[in-house]
Structure 1
Amino acid sequence: MFKRFPRYLAVTIGLTSSVLVYADNVGTAIDRTGRQAANAILTPAGNWGCRITDGNACEWDATKWGGIEFRPFMADVDGDSISDRVLYRATDGTWGCRLRNGASCNWDSQKWGGIEYTPLLGDVNGDQIADRVLYWASTGWWGCKVNSSALCNWDGQYWGGPGYTAMLTDVNGDGKADRVLYRQSDGEWSCMLTGGGTCSWNGQKWGGPGYLPLLGDVNHDGKADRIVYKNANS
């Protein structure tokens, strides 16, 4: 079931390695610019604000785009190493994107998905451009759109199902986003590499009820590491 994003969503942009941050238990892809850091905030009214490290506003600060029905993301969708804004509306699967200069990307306004899908963003083919991915939790179905409409090699596969949290990140350092699942009931982690096969920690149990899973490169080796955060007393 789709959940509304928090009233204020803070996202750090411009990290030196690919990571995922959480918003309502959905991983949000962040680009790897390394050129500037910023904080972006989106309110339900669709008002965007951003501040770069020196405290100045970015080009699209104080602009309005979206609304309470949209889920926001930040990712590089045109390959210029600068984070772009992305919106997804679960009610009808509408995707929207705005580049740094305010222009739209080539898949802006396309409809793909719906209320039962979890939207994700990640570079699944290694071209330094974020691709769109959908995960259908009730069945474990995965779909991906590369370069507007092409499909990746695992589009249509079934892996996972009810009880799993789906994430995307590069776990083997090949520059391509891999699929990761976390089952909160027993802390089981699973991973599927984009090039085929599984990672070294596939099937390991670490975490459990009350823990939120996160992914990020904490030792700068180009590979995402696993992190858990306990936000409940269970």
Structure 2
Amino acid sequence: MKKPAIDFRYKLIAVFAAVVLGVFGIGRFGADDSLVSASASGPTPSNTNAPSESNCTACHTSFPLNSGEGTVAITGLPARWTPGQQISLTITTSQADGVIYGYQMTALDSQGKRAGTLTLPASSPQQSQLVTGIVGGESRQYAEHTIDGILPTVFGSKSWTVNWTAPAQPIGPVTFYAAGNASNSDGSTAGDYIYTNSATSSSGGSPFDFDGDGKTDISIFRPSVGEWWYLRSSNGGNGALQFGTATDKLVPADFTGDGKTDVAFWRPSTGQWFILRSEDLSFFAFPFGSSGDIPAPADYDGDGKADAAVFRPSTQTWYISKSTGGTDIVAFGAANDKPAVADFDGDRKADIAVFRASGANGAEWWIRRSSDLAVFATQFGNSTDKAVQGDYTGDGKADVAFWRPSSGIWYVLRSEDLSFFAFPFGANGDVPVTGDYDGDGKIDSAVFRPANSTWYANRSTAGVLIQQFGQSGDLPLPNVFVP
């Protein structure tokens, strides 16, 4: 039902009143006695609800945190960042009953330390400001509103733009924490809504990214001589080294968290993992698993490092050696299932998942979400299809997907609404080699054609890439985890 016009006039009067209150000294909000509802001059540091921080409900006590119909949102953040990249972020506080609005945001690494640098775009008058605060002995940087940045962009909502320059080196995932204040501008701390939210972006992080530029690299393993070859997407140069034998299982992943894929293999006969550090090409080895297991490394604990993991078909049990410490043992799946691990729920942690080719009515997917441990199951595909799960839509969640060798058709089940789309790319005899070949945070359909050692990548932003790389008998690395 449309609101009467008188509501609009009252709201407009309230906005003008808020400006007057702001000009005459409405203070900051946070945990001190001078705080009032408008928060016009900006909040005190350390109120974003980040680790070891409070939030503004310490003073604005009328409503519980994140209550009512409002939100604070961080948009513009890609799934992955590259060193030195500058990213424009938008922070929006929304609440239909708000009259003036505020925010505060900070960027932290997985250890709670400042990550990258926040800067402000040119604006007159400037609607945001930068401040610093000390939390746990560490300095943190914050962007927050100014007295000139409290009026709504449109009624019920206010947005601010802040630039973030990524660290010069990969440091793993960076999380942005934001708090928003939707104030009624009555000059007190009563009647205001406080909201908090966070968003995470990983460094590098594209699968099979050996040079750390955020793009999947064309790469192969040559079993006859135990050689790894990759084509650097950053400069077109070749990388080559010898590591492993023809009977080893290839498990390339970023085990050290530097944003680069490490050359690695698992030896079934001994259960040993051998990892060649991308930082200095030194290697380390450790036992985890036994003969008959299927290796399934991924970042199960969300710290930006791949964890050694195996699925044991004989007991339908997963064993995960977390880089943050400890081992998870989880019963999940059936004897003939194949691991189909990915982050399906968007919490930046890999979910235990299986592809069951021989389901009752076709191929089945079973996913154990790490966010709430709930199980999602769906029928999608048939017994001869190839599981190629990944984030094709760029929403931060992996989509259930398969490639049909007989027709070269790709089928993608959107995580957003479980609708699906299909398209042709490749031919019978090709091998699927999905990856993010253009670094836009979306998985690209791609195939390797063994007949002529040619790669075809259907990049979502840069067109089709066609590249000859490899020779007869080579194994394309982006295919090693495809069941």
TM-score range for the pair, normalised by the shorter chain length: 0.7 to 0.9
Q: CA deviation at 1:50?
A: 1.0
Instruction: Specify whether residues 95 and 29 from structure 1 end up closer, same or farther in structure 2 by C-alpha distance, changes over 3 A only.
Output: farther
Instruction: Specify whether residues 210 and 146 from structure 1 end up closer, same or farther in structure 2 by C-alpha distance, changes over 3 A only.
Output: same
| Post-superposition CA distance 1:168-205 (Å, at most 9, x none) | 11101111111111111111110001121446xx3222
Q: CA deviation at 1:16?
A: 5.9
Q: Runs of at least 4 residues of structure 1 off by over 3 A?
A: 11-19, 28-37
Asked whether the 8 Å contact 2:430–2:447 carries over to 1, the reply is: yes
User: Structure 2 counterpart of 1:170, which letter?
Assistant: D
Map 1:67-82; keep pairs closer than 5 Å: 67-82=290-305
Paired position in structure 2 for 1:124 = 344
Matched residues in 1 for 2:354 and 2:417: separation? 19
Map 1:99-138; keep pairs closer than 5 Å: 99-100=322-323, 103-104=326-327, 108-138=328-358
Q: CA deviation at 1:52?
A: 1.1
User: Structure 2 counterpart of 1:218, which letter?
Assistant: Y
2:272 aligned with 1:56: no
Matched residues in 2 for 1:34 and 1:193: separation? 30
Q: Which has the higher contact order (CA 8 A, sep 6+)?
A: 1
| Alignment match of 1:191 (pick from 379, 392, 412) | 412
| Post-superposition CA distance 1:51-94 (Å, at most 9, x none) | 2121123xxx2211112211112211111111111101122211
The structure where helix makes up a greater share of residues is 2
Instruction: Specify whether residues 144 and 22 from structure 1 end up closer, same or farther in structure 2 by C-alpha distance, changes over 3 A only.
Output: farther
Instruction: Specify whether residues 174 and 71 from structure 1 end up closer, same or farther in structure 2 by C-alpha distance, changes over 3 A only.
Output: same
Paired position in structure 2 for 1:219 = 438
Asked whether the 8 Å contact 2:298–2:307 carries over to 1, the reply is: yes
Paired position in structure 2 for 1:164 = 385
TM-score (norm: length of structure 2): 0.39
3-state secondary structure, aligned to 1:216: coil
Q: CA deviation at 1:113?
A: 1.1
TM-score (norm: length of structure 1): 0.77
How many percent of aligned residue pairs carry the same amino acid? Answer: 27
Q: How many residues align?
A: 209
Any stretches of 5+ residues in structure 1 without a counterpart?
A: 1-10
Asked whether the 8 Å contact 2:437–2:444 carries over to 1, the reply is: yes
Asked whether the 8 Å contact 2:273–2:286 carries over to 1, the reply is: yes
Instruction: Specify whether residues 73 and 156 from structure 1 end up closer, same or farther in structure 2 by C-alpha distance, changes over 3 A only.
Output: closer
Any stretches of 5+ residues in structure 2 without a counterpart?
A: 1-206, 222-250, 453-483
Paired position in structure 2 for 1:182 = 403
Matched residues in 2 for 1:74 and 1:226: separation? 22
Q: CA deviation at 1:99?
A: 1.9
Matched residues in 1 for 2:335 and 2:345: separation? 26
Q: CA deviation at 1:209?
A: 2.0
Instruction: Specify whether residues 18 and 81 from structure 1 end up closer, same or farther in structure 2 by C-alpha distance, changes over 3 A only.
Output: farther
Matched residues in 1 for 2:371 and 2:395: separation? 22
Asked whether the 8 Å contact 1:178–1:191 carries over to 2, the reply is: yes
Matched residues in 2 for 1:37 and 1:79: separation? 16
